[in-house]
Structure 1
Amino acid sequence: MALSGAERARRYREKKKAAGLHELIKKQDRKRKRIARSKMSLAKLKQLRLRQQTNLHKFRSKSKLSSTLPSPPDSSFRTKQSKSKALNRILNVLPANKGKQFELIKEIATNLKIIEPEKKFERTQKSLSTDVKQQIYDYYFRDDISYQAPGKRDSITIKENGVKKKLQKRYLLYSLNEIYQMFAEENPQVQISCSSFKNLRPCNVLYKSATPHNLCLCIYHENVSLLLHAIDEHIHGIKSIDLNLFIKLLVCNDSQELCMFSNCNQCSNNFKISIQDKIINPSAIIKWSLWSTSNEGRTVKTDYEGTVQNCVNILKTKINPFLFHVFIKRQQSNYFEMSKKNVTDEKCVLQVDYSENFSIIEQNEIHSAHWSRKQLSIFTAYVWSQSKTYPLVIVSDDSSHDKFTVGKCLEHLFTRLKILLPSMKELIIFSDGSASQFKQRFLFKNLTYLANQFSLKLSWNFFASHHGKGNLGVVDGIGGSSKRTVYQDVMSGKRCRNAKDFLHLIEQKNSLIIIDELSPDEIELGRDELGLVFNQVKAVPNIQKVHSINVIDIDKIECISCEFTDDIYSPNDLWHILKESHDVDSAKASDWFDLELFTAHMINMNKNEQLLQKLLRAGYFYVKSIMRYV
C-alpha cells in the first residue's frame, strides 16, 4: 500500500537518526535559516518573529492542556484479533441499509454518552380541551353531516386500546372544508384550525369521495346541481361552486324564513344580480341534464341542448321551490337533533325504519338454491331517553311491509318500550315518508288507538322528501350490524333457516341489540283486529305534504303540512271561499269543513268574526288542520 507524504517524511527522519546523521541535518537546517534571515528586510523579519511567537504560544497551550488529561489507553482489547472479531460480530447483525446502520450506531453512541443527544425544539401550542374534541367527534356523527351505511358488509375494523372493534361505515355528505365552515358558523366560540378539525375525523367516517354508488338522492338538490355544473364556466364568479355557497349567494341569511321563502326585499333580486347579469355569452350553446318523469311513469335522466340563457331561465324556475325545500329539510333536521338533546325518562324519541330484507343463505349451497332464497323482514328502531338508549330489531318470516305488518310491529315495539322505559309518557317518532309503510291514513288512525292503548302522548314526524337516507343512519346501522353478525356466523358453518334462528344467533353474541320475533300467526291475527280499525278511513287531504302529526284523541289527529304554491291568499279570501261552499252561519265550535285547497277547523265563534287556524305566507302557505276520522 502506498505511503502518504507525512509517513515517508517520518520514515526518512527515523533512518537518519539510526545512521547518526540527525544532529548534522539539524545543524545544516539552522545555518540555512540564518542565511535566509540575513537576507530579509526589516518588515519581513518582523512578520516572521510575530508568526513564530504565535505558533509557540499555541504549542505551549496545547501541551499544557494535554498534560492535565489522562491519556486514554490505546485499546481495551488485548490483541488486534480480538478487537477485529468483536467488530465483525457487530457488523454482521446490523441491517444492510446504510441509513438504518447510521441510525442504530448513532443511538448507541448517544446512550453511551459518546455524543450528546440532539435538542428538539417543539413549537408550544395550546391543546384542545376534551370537551371540544368530543363536540367535534359528535358533530361528525350527526345525521345531517354523515349517513351510516346500511349494508352488512359496510363495516371497518379499528383498534381501540389494543382491542379490535368493528364499526359501521359512515360517509360524509359534504367535503371536509364545507363541514369545517358549517361547524365554525354553528360554533363561533370554538377556536380551531381547519387542519386540526380534519385530524379529529373518526376512522369510520369516510370521505365524500369514498361514497359508493349514490342512490336515493334528492331530485331538488340534484337538478339544481346539474344545472349549475352546466353553466358554471359561462357565468363570472360561480365556477365549481357547491350548493351551500350557491344558497348563500342567493339569500342574505340562509337560516331566515323570509329569505329562504323569497319574501326578503334585500335579497329578492340576488339571482338576477349574481347569475343573470353575469352571463358571459347568453347565446352560447351548451348541454345539460335533468331528472324528470317520463310518459311511461319512469324517472329518467334526460339530456337537453340550448343556449346559456335558456338554461339559466330553467334554473330560475327551480330556485324558489329549491330554497323552500332546503329550509324545510334543515328545520326538520334541527328539530330531530333538538328532540334528541331534550329527552327525559318521560319524554322519549323513537326512530323507526324497515331495513333491507335478509336473504337466508347456506354455506356451500348448491347452484339452484341461489335462485330460491327465502327472505326475512327486519324492522329496526332506536329509542333515546335521558337515562339510556336502546337499539331494537323485530325480525319476522313474513316479508311484507303493508299496513297490517307495520301496525303489529308498532304494537310489539310499544309493548317492549313500556317494559324498558316504564316511566315513559310521551313518545316523539321519526321516520322517512314511505307511502306504503308510514305516511298513510291507516297508520294515522291506528296511532290514535295505540296512544290510547299504551297511555302515551304520540307524535310522528316525517323527514323531508328524499332526505331519509342521512337522517336514518342510526337505524340503518342497526339493520346492517345485525345482518352482518348473522352472515358471519353462517359463513362459519352455522345455519339460519328462519326468524327464530336469526334471533338466537344474535342473542348468542351478547349483542346490545334487543331483538324480538314477530310470527306470521301474530300478523294474521292482527289483520282481523286491524281490519275493523281500518274500515272506512277518510283520506287525508294533501297527505304527501304532511310532515308531522299529533294524536289528540281516538279518531282525531292534528296534521301539519307544508306546501309550495304560486297562489296568494289572505284570511278574508279564505273566509269567502269557505262561505261559498259551506253554511258557516250556523257553524259551531269544532265543526269541520273540507275544501279542495285546504281543511279548515272552526276553533272560535264570536258575533262578528270567525277565526281560522291558519298560517299564511305570501306565495306559500302552511296548512295546520285537524282531521276527524268517522
Structure 2
Amino acid sequence: MDDDLVNKLKAKLKNMKEEAQKRRELTKIQKYELKKKIQRENYHKKKLESKERISKKEPPLENSNSSEVLPSVLPKKNTLKIKLGPYTAEENQSTSATTRADKNCPKEVQVKNIKRKVKVNNEEQRKKAREKKRRQREKRRQNIEAYTKYTEREKERNKKRKEEGKLTPIMQKNTREKKRQRKKWTENSRAYRLKKNQQGRLEKIIDEKTSPLSSSTSPPEAEKNSRVKTKRTSTKNYREYKKTILDLRKSLKTLGQRAERYKKRYNRLSKKKRKQSRSPSPNTNVKNILRQTTNDIKKKLLFSECLVKEIKAKAKDSNEVEKNILGACISSSIYKKYRVQSEATSIVSRHILKKHLKSQINHVKKRQLRTQQMMSIRRQIENFFLEDENTIPAPGKRDTITKRKITKQKRYLTTTLKILYKKYVDQLKSKISFSTFCRLRPFYVLKPRVSNRDTCLCIKHENVKFILQKLHYFKIVRSKIPSEVIRELVCNHKDKNCMYRECQSCKNKKCHLANEELSARVTFYYEWKSRVEERKDKNGKEIKVRITAKERISCSVQDLVKKINDLFPKFLIHEYNIQHHFKKIKQLRQNISSGSAIINIDFSENYGCKYSNEIQSVHFGASKPQLSLHTGVIYFKIGDKLHHQSFTTVSDQLCHKPYAIWAHLQPALELATKLISGLDTIHFISDGPTSQYRNKINFFLITYFGKMRGFKKLTWNFSEAGHGKSSADGVGGSLKKMADLAVSHGNDIMCAKDFVHVLHATNPQSKIKLFLIEENEFDKFQDVVPLSLKSIKGTMRIHQVLWKSDNPQKLKFKYLSCFCEDCSHYELCEIVYPKNDNDDMILDKNYEIENEIINNIPVNSPDDSVLSKKSRQACSKTSINKMW
C-alpha cells in the first residue's frame, strides 16, 4: 500500500511540475482563462463530491482544502467546451460567481472566446512536443553507449557549424551581442536554480507527507541529526574563525611592513638633512676615507695619481695658450686655503697660477662695483619718475599695484618715455641707454589709458585740487590732497561746527604766504569754468549754448592764496555734506523698519539702439533712436535680514522732467508694495539736479502721490552735487552690457519694447526687473501739475524733503538729511500747498517766496519751463482733487 501511495504522489509531483512549467509559458490572458477554468472545474467537482457524501451519508473529509485538489493543467481535448451561446443555469451560476469574485477580469476574456480556444490548443501542442523531447532525452541518458555517440555527433555538428560560420563563439561577437548572450545565460541559470529549489521543496513536502514514521522519528535518527547539525555548526564557526585569524595576520604583516618602510624613510631623510646642514671640508672627506676600508683608500689615491700624471703629460706637450687654459681650470683659492698649492705647481708654473688667481679677484670686485653703480642708477631713475612733473599719482584708494609683496600707489606718465629719457639725460648727464632707462622704470609707474580716466568728478573738488597742486609746488601747503589740508585747517573734520566755520577756535584758520618774495611771482593754474557761447544752427540762426571747459588762468602767488582762502568756507560745507549724507544713508539701511523701503534711483545714460548688422548710412547717420533708462534698487528688511531688488523702467520718451520721473516710479512703487507687506514709509535717494529731482514740480508731486498711494510718510534725500553715484548706476551698466551682448548674437533693438523683449528672452534668469513705460503715461501725469507753483529760495541748499499723512498739504525742507522721529534738526523751511487751485501757497514766516526762479537753478531747469496751452487749459478747468 505504501508503494502505491508513493507512486501516486510521484505522479502527482510530476503533474505539478508539468503544470508549473505550463503556467510559466502562458500569457497573462491565458493564465487568467486557465485560472477561471480550474475554478469552475473545482466548483463542479466539489458539488458532485458533496452530493455523493449526502447520498452515502458520509462525513466530510478532514483537511480537504481546495489547494490539495490538483487538477491537470489542461483538460483533454474532448472535455474543453466553449459555448458561444448562452450558458445553462448551472454553468451560468458558476461563471457569474467566479467573475464577480475577480474584479480584475480583462475585457478580452469576456469577449474574445474563440481566440481563447485557439490559443489553448496551440499551447497543448507545444506542451506535447516538449514532453516528447523530454522523454527522448531521458531514454538517451539511460543508454550510456547511445548517449556517448549522441554527444560525439553533437560535438562534430557544432564544430562543423563553427567552420561554416553559423555558430559564432562569444569572443568573436561584438560588445552588444556578448552582453545579450551573457544576459541570456544568466536568466537560464536563474530559471534552472529556481526550478531545482521548487523541486527540492516539493520532494521534501512529499517525504514528510508520505513517510509513515514522520510523526514519530526514532531516537537514534534524531540523535544522528543533532550530531550532524552540531558538527555542521562547529565546522562553520571554525571556518569563520580561521578566516578572521588569517585576515588579522595579513593585516598585521602589512602594518609591520608599512612601519618598517616609514622608519627607513625617516632614517634616510634625517641622514640626508644632516649631510645638507654642513657641507664636509676636504679634511673631513680625507678623515672619512681613512675610516673606511683599505680598498676604498687605494682606489681614491690611485685615481688621483692617475689624474695628476695624465695632466702633467698633457701639460708638457701643450703650448702657452693651452697652459693658460689649464691654469685657469686648476687655479683657485681653495688650494691656498688647504695648503696644497705646491702640488698644483707641479702641473703648471707658479706664474700662471698667480695670474689667474688675480684675474678672478679682479672680476669679483668689478662685478660688485657694477652692481653698486646699477643700484645708484636705479635709485636716480626712481626718484626721477616720482617727480610730479614726470608722473601723477592715481587718486583712488584702490588704485594700487602689488609686486613681490610690495604695494605701491599707481602713478601715470605725463608724457612719452622717449621725451622723459631725453629730459633725464639732460638733467643728470647720464650715459645710460634708452632700453636700460625703460627697464629700470618702477613697476608702479604705468602708461595712462583712456579707460583709466575719471569722467564723473566733482567740479568743486577738482578746482580746489588744481590750486592746491600749485601751492604745494611753491611749498605753501604741506599736501596737495584736499582732505589732508582740511585736517590742518579745522579742529575736527567730522564736527559740523568746525566744517561750517562756527567753531570759535578754528573758524579763522587760513593759508598764509610765509615767503614774501613769492607774492609777486606770476604763475598759472587750471580751473573748470562754464560759459555761454553763441553759435549758429543748421538754418543759420544764432543760438546760445552753455559750455564747460578747463581753462588756464595766470595770476600771482598772492592772488592764488587769496583765491583758495575764498573757496575754503563753501568747500568745507560741501565736504561735510558729503560725509553726512553717506553716514545717514548707511544708518538708515541698518536700522530700517519692516514696513519701510529705501528706493535708490537715478537716470542712466540713454541707450543707443542698434541693429545686429548695419549698412554704412545707418551706422554713421542719425537714423538710430535712443532709449531712456530709469534705474533703481529697493532695499527692505524681512525679519532681521536686509534684502534688495533691482529694477529698471524703459521708455522711448527721452523726457527727464518730474512728471516723467513719477511715470517711471509707478512700477517701482507697485513692486515695493508686493515685496513688503504693510508698506507705509518710503525713503527716496537720488542725486540733486534741478532739472530732474530737486525742483518745485517734484516737491508738489511728492504730496500728490503720497496722498494717492495712501502712504504715512515720504522722504526724498538729495546727495551733494557731484557725488550722486550709487548702486543704481551699476544696474544701468549691467543692463547695457546684456543688451550689447544680445545684439552681438544677432538680435535687433530699435525701441523700448524690443529692449525689454530681447533681454527677457536672452537673460531669463536675470534678477533685474524690467518694466516698459508707454508714452501716454507721461501726458497723464503732466496734466496733474498746476501752473500756480512758485519757486523756493535756496533750492540748492535743500537735501531732504519730508511729507507726512497727518498734514498732507505740508512739506518740510532740511539742509541735511535726518531720520529722527518728529525732530527739528537741520530745518530750512516749511510750505503748505492750497487745497483749492485759487488759494495761494503758504510759506513759513521766516522765509520768502520768489516769483522768479532763483539764480542757482540752471537755464534748462523745469522751474522756468513753460507748459503748453493744452496743459494750461486742462489745469485751469480741472481741479487737482478730481484728477484721480
| Same fold flag (TM > 0.5) | yes
- Give the C-alpha shift of residue 209 in structure 1: 7.3
Q: Aligned-pair distance for 1:415? A: 1.5
| 1:167-199: CA deviation from partner (whole Å, max 9, x where unpaired) | xxxxx96334999xxxxxxxxxxxxxx97999x
Structure 1 position 506 matched with structure 2 position 736? no
1:447 corresponds, among 697, 702, 723, to 702
Structure 1 partner of 2:455: 215
Q: Following superposition of structure 1 onto structure 2, how do residues 231-380 of structure 1 map, counting pairs within 5 Å? A: 231-236=471-476, 238=478, 241-272=480-511, 275-277=512-514, 281-294=518-531, 296=533, 298-370=547-619, 371-380=622-631
User: Distance in 1 between the 2:776 and 2:697 partners?
Assistant: 21
CA gap 1:378/1:177 in 2 versus in 1, 3 angstroms: closer
Residue identity opposite 1:242 in structure 2: I
What are structure 2's unaligned runs of at least 5 residues?
A: 1-283, 298-393, 410-445, 534-545, 817-827, 829-841, 852-879
**Is there any run of 5+ residues in structure 1 with no aligned partner, and where?**
1-53, 68-171, 180-193, 199-206, 563-573, 575-589, 600-628
Quote how far apart the aligned CAs of 1:236 are: 4.7
Matched, 1:497 2:750: yes
- The alpha-carbon distance between structure 1 residues 60 and 212, as it changes in their structure 2 partners (threshold 3 A), is closer
Name 2:219's counterpart in structure 1: none
Match of 1:408 among 663, 676, 679: 663
Cα–Cα, structure 1 residues 501 and 295, in superposed 2: closer, same or farther, change >3 Å? closer
Q: Is the 8 A contact 1:352 1:379 kept in 2?
A: yes
Alpha-carbon distance in 2 for matches of 1:209, 1:467: 24
Contact 2:601 2:684 in 1 (8 A): yes
Sort the Cα spacing of 1:425 and 1:488 in 2 relative to 1 into closer, same or farther, 3 A. same
Identity %: 24
Equivalences for residues 452-601 of structure 1 within 5 A:
452-456=707-711, 457-468=713-724, 471-472=725-726, 474-508=727-761, 509=763, 510-524=765-779, 526-527=780-781, 530-552=782-804, 553-561=807-815, 592-593=844-845, 595-596=847-848
> What is the rounded CA distance, in whole Å, between the counterparts of 1:311 and 1:197 in structure 2?
32
Deviations 1:285-334 (A, max 9, x none): 21122233436454343322222111111111111111111111211121
> CA 1:279–1:539 in 2, change beyond 3 Å: closer, same or farther?
same
Instruction: Measure the CA separation in 2 of the matches of 1:235 and 1:218.
Output: 25
Q: How does 1:44-123 map to 2 (within 5 A)?
A: 61-63=291-293
Contact 2:702–2:803 under 8 Å retained in 1: yes
CA distance in 2, matches of 1:56, 1:543: 97
Opposite residue 631 of structure 2, the aligned amino acid is T
Query: What SS does the aligned partner of 2:505 have?
Result: coil
For residue 501 of structure 1, report the CA deviation from its aligned partner.
2.1
Residues 418 and 62 of structure 1: CA distance in aligned 2, closer, same or farther (over 3 Å): same
Count how many residue pairs are aligned between Structure 1 and Structure 2. 388
| Cα separation, 1, equivalents of 2:516 and 2:496 | 29
Q: Is the 8 A contact 1:451 1:458 kept in 2?
A: yes
The answer to whether the 8 A contact 2:602-2:632 is kept is yes
Which residue number in structure 2 is paired with residue 424 of structure 1? 679
Shift in CA distance, 452/279, structure 1 to aligned 2, threshold 3 Å: farther
1:258 Cα deviation from its structure 2 partner: 2.0
Q: Is the 8 A contact 1:460 1:550 kept in 2?
A: yes
Q: Which amino acid aligns with 2:594?
A: D
CA–CA distance in structure 1, aligned partners of residues 462 and 481 of structure 2:
11
CA shift, 1:532, in A, is: 3.3
Within a 5 Å distance, the mapping from 1:594-609 to structure 2 comes to: 595-596=847-848
* Change in CA separation of 1:55 and 1:545 when aligned onto 2, cut-off 3 Å: closer
2: distance between equivalents of 1:223 and 1:501? 43
TM-score by length of 2: 0.40
Question: For residue 255 of structure 1, what is the amino acid of its counterpart?
Answer: K
| Secondary structure in structure 1 of the residue aligned to 2:637 | coil
SS across alignment from 1:315 = helix
The AA in structure 1 aligned to 2:734 is: S
Conserved? CA contact 2:800–2:815, under 8 Å: yes
Greater RCO between the two (CA within 8 Å, min separation 6)? 1
Structure 1: which amino acid aligns with 2:607? Answer: F
1:27-72 CA distance string (max 9 Å, x none): xxxxxxxxxxxxxxxxxxxxxxxxxxx99997663119989xxxxx
After superposing the two structures, state which structure 1 stretch, 291-300 or 483-492, moved more.
291-300
Contact persistence 2:749–2:755 (CA under 8 A):
yes
Contact 2:499–2:576 (CA under 8 A) maintained in structure 1:
yes
**Partner SS state of residue 291, structure 2:** helix
Q: Which residue of 2 is the match for residue 383 of structure 1?
A: 634
Cα distance in 2 for residues equivalent to 1:259 and 1:591: 31
Question: CA, structure 1 residues 277+494, in 2 after alignment: closer, same or farther (shift >3 Å)?
Answer: same
Query: Do 1:378 and 1:395's aligned partners in 2 also have CA atoms closer than 8 Å?
Result: yes
- The 2-side partners of 1:483 and 1:539 are apart by 37
Moved more, 300-309 or 414-423: 300-309
Aligned-pair distance for 1:503? 1.3
The AA in structure 1 aligned to 2:729 is D
- Asked if 1 retains the 8 angstrom alpha-carbon contact of 2:650 and 2:752, the reply is yes
Distance 1:212 1:496 in 2: 29
AA in 1 matched with 2:527: L
> 1:429: how far off?
0.9
Alpha-carbon offset, residue 363 of structure 1? 1.7
Shift in Å, 1:409: 1.2
1 or 2, which has the higher strand percentage? Answer: 1
1:397-453 CA-to-partner distances (Å, cap 9, x unmatched) read 222222321121122321121112233221111101122221121111111122222
Cα distance in 2 for residues equivalent to 1:423 and 1:377:
32
From 174, 178, 193, the equivalent of 2:396 is 174
Q: Is the 8 A contact 2:597 2:672 kept in 1?
A: no
Task: Answer yes or no: is the 8 Å Cα contact 2:490–2:499 preserved in 1.
Answer: yes
Task: Give the 3 Å change call, closer, same or farther, for CA 538–518 of structure 1 in structure 2.
Answer: same
Q: Distance in 1 between matches of 2:680 and 2:668?
A: 15
The equivalences for 1:22-61 within 5 A come to 61=291
- Tell me how large the CA RMSD over aligned residues is: 3.6
Mapped contact 1:235–1:279 kept (Cα < 8 A): no
Looking at structure 2, the residues matched to 433 and 55 of structure 1 have their Cα atoms a distance apart, in angstroms, of 85
Give how far 1:248 is off. 1.1
Where 2:791 maps in the other structure, the secondary structure is: coil
The CA deviation at 1:495 is 2.1
- Is the Cα contact below 8 Å between 1:173 and 1:208 reproduced in 2? no
Distance 2:697 2:689 in 1: 13
Write the deviation string for residues 89-113 of structure 1: whole angstroms up to 9, x where unpaired: xxxxxxxxxxxxxxxxxxxxxxxxx
The reply to whether residue 230 of structure 1 matches residue 230 of structure 2 is no
